[in-house]
Amino acid sequence: MSEALALLEVASLARGVVVADAVAKRASIELIQCEPVSPGKYLILFAGGVAEVDESQAAGAAAAAEALVDRLFLPQAHEQLLPAIRAGAKGFVHDAAEETAGLIEVHSVAAALRSADAACKAAQVRLQLLHLARGIGGKAWFIVRGDLHSVEASVAAATQAAGDGLLAGAEIIARPHRDLRGVAL
């Protein structure tokens, strides 16, 4: 498991590739996601040891210069983040569990990572999915599952961690209808 997670969001697709190269060359890290996303930005998401990720992020930010839109550094990222990001990259994950579902939608990828990290640290929940920006206009969203009280606490922490003006929506479904399990949950 990685100790740290970092994100750089770049306004230029071409510059984004240069930034990803600088990040990868600076220290031994794992590139998790390097790709263009709506609306015409480039995301570089990477993980590794705290010092290595910090060094790579600094190198990437310097390479991005004025094209840097946003950045995030989570030195003690919750262990559920990377598996949920990978699940989100593969498409929707269907879950047969009847657990309560908490859905959080935010306006930026950095806000989603920050919120999901806070949600997982606030209560005993399972991060089912973390979808970052692809096909949803640059937004991001995630689903946490667990018992009702844990999901309520988790969603409260996530909404608070999102940041001013970045929360697009937060919903809790206490006992999702079984027909949703094959379609939306």
Query: For the segment 60-98, what is each residue's pLDDT rounded down to a tens digit?
Result: 999 999 999 999 999 999 999 988 887 765 555 555 567
Q: Is the pLDDT of residue 33 over 80?
A: yes
**If you average pLDDT over residues 25-29, what whole number do you get?**
96
Residue 149's pLDDT is: 97
Cα(172)–Cα(59) distance, integer angstroms: 40
Mean pLDDT of 8-18: 95
90-108 residue pLDDT tens: 555 555 567 899 999 999 9
Is a pLDDT exceeding 60 seen at residue 182? no
- Point out the least confidently predicted range of 95-104, 135-144, 149-158: 95-104
Q: How far is CA 182 from the centre of its chain?
A: 23
- Domain 81-182 in CATH 3.30.70.1710? The answer is yes
Instruction: Return all residues near 5 (Cβ < 8 A) that are at least 6 apart.
Output: 32, 45, 46, 47, 53, 72, 73, 74, 77, 81, 82, 113
**Predicted TM-score of the model (pTM):** 0.86
Mean pLDDT computed over 9-38: 94
Radius of gyration (C-alpha) of the chain in whole angstroms: 16
Fold of domain 4-74: Alpha-Beta Plaits (3.30.70)
Q: Evaluate if residue 183 carries a pLDDT over 70.
A: no
pLDDT for residue 89: 59
Residue 181 banded pLDDT, cuts 50, 70, 90:
low
Higher pLDDT, 132 or 169: 169
Asked if domains 4-74 and 81-182 share a fold, the reply is yes
Domain range summary for the chain, segments of one domain joined by +: 4-74, 81-182
Query: 48 - beta bridge partners?
Result: 4
Q: Distance (Å, rounded) from C-alpha 90 to C-alpha 105?
A: 19
Average pLDDT score over the chain: 90
Q: Would you call the peptide bond into 39 cis, given omega within 30 degrees of 0 as the criterion?
A: yes
